[in-house]
Amino acid sequence: MMQQHQPLLNQLASLDGQFKVQSHAPEGENWFDIVVGRHPVLVSAPHACMHLRDGALKMHEEYKGAIALYLAQACDCHAIVTSHRADEDPNWTLESDYKNAIRSLVERHDIGFVIDLHGMMNRYHMGVAIGTIKGSSCDPSFVEPHFSDAGFISANVDALNQSVAAWRNVVVDHPRFTGGVVNHTVTRFVAQQLNIQSVQIELASEVRVVRSAATADWPREYYGNPEAITASVHALQSLIVSIEC
Ligand SMILES: [Zn+2]
Tell me what the mean pLDDT of segment 62-70 comes to: 97
| CA 118 / ligand 1 centre spacing (Å) | 4
Distance, in Å, from the CA atom of 199 to the CA atom of 42, rounded to the nearest integer, reads 11
| CA 145 / ligand 1 centre spacing (Å) | 23
| CA 119 / ligand 1 centre spacing (Å) | 5
What percentage of residues in the chain have a pLDDT greater than 90?
77
| CA 61 / ligand 1 centre spacing (Å) | 6
Per-residue confidence at 219, pLDDT binned at 50, 70, 90? confident
| CA 98 / ligand 1 centre spacing (Å) | 14
Query: What is the per-residue pLDDT across 192-217, written as a single tens digit (0 to 9) for each?
Result: 999 999 999 999 999 999 999 887 77
Per-residue confidence at 57, pLDDT binned at 50, 70, 90? confident
Query: What is the per-residue pLDDT across 113-168, written as a single tens digit (0 to 9) for each?
Result: 999 999 999 999 999 999 999 999 999 999 999 999 999 999 988 888 787 899 99
| CA 57 / ligand 1 centre spacing (Å) | 13
Domains of the chain: 2-242 (3.40.630)
| CA 28 / ligand 1 centre spacing (Å) | 25
pTM of the model: 0.95
| CA 48 / ligand 1 centre spacing (Å) | 8
**Count of residues for the chain?**
245
| CA 1 / ligand 1 centre spacing (Å) | 30
